A and B are shown apart, each in its own frame.
Chain A
Amino acid sequence: GNEKASKDEL
């Protein structure tokens, strides 16, 4: 899986 997926979130 891909870590660090949250940068496009708020």
Chain B
Amino acid sequence: MNIFRLAGDLSHLLAIIILLLKIWKTRSCAGISGKSQVLFAIVYLTRYLDLFTTYISLYNSIMKIVFIAASGATLYLMYVKFKATYDHNHDSFRIEFLLIPCVILALIINHDFTVMEILWTFSIYLESVAILPQLFLVSKTGEAESITSHYLFALGSYRALYLLNWIYRYMAESHYDLIAIFAGVVQTILYCDFFYLYITKVLKGKKLQLPA
């Protein structure tokens, strides 16, 4: 565990908490893509199956359980409790265009052709693109509430910090995982445009609004 990895995990945790609090406090999930949240739930469930097979550390197990639980709670709030506030019309990204390529890619490019390994690889690929329905929703409505922007910034920073963690681990431990690195780079690149808008607008107190 190095400082970049810890900062990445805390950023990830912060993102999930911000999202849950936003929905809970405003009693609304307006501006949030339910499709991205479904994809994240699939990511956690397929990656953290090793909770049942491999013990790594108490920290590792607790974080995995928290991510799965928070993801389930988010889906419950969006699709059950505050269903009426869910922005169906704008959340129109076709997730099969992400799911199917990720399944195929995981079957072709993986470290080991075993069920657990292919599910892990699938979750890594899917996570890298899972934010696309959310970014699509923001681009369709042309704006995002500040709290949604903070959520996206924390969530995007998490994988960017993991990239630093992987550079550190490569230098310090000669450890690397090309699948994770490749997907992590793709994931971070997808946020770049948003990062730019966040820094130039949201941090200056303006609303995130896309040019018409």
Contact = CB atoms under 8 A, between A and B. Distances in A.
Interface string A1-10: 1111111111
Query: Interface size for chain B: under 10, 10 to 19, 20 to 34, or 35 or more residues?
Result: 20 to 34
A10 to B, nearest CB: 6
Contacts of A8: 56-57, 60
A3 B5 contact: no
Which of A4, A9, A10 has the most B CB atoms < 10 Å from its CB? A10
A4 B60 contact: no
Which of B50, B57, B176 has the most A CB atoms < 10 Å from its CB? B176
Contacts, number: 41
Contact of A2 (B56, B120, B166, B175): B175
Given A1-B176, A2-B176, A4-B177, A9 B170 contact: no
B162 A7 contact: no
Contact of A5 (B60, B120, B169): B169
A8 B39 CA distance: 22
A4 B57 CA distance: 18
A7 B54 contact: yes
Contact of B180 (A1, A2, A9): A9
B154 to A, nearest CB: 14
Contacts of A1: 170, 174-176
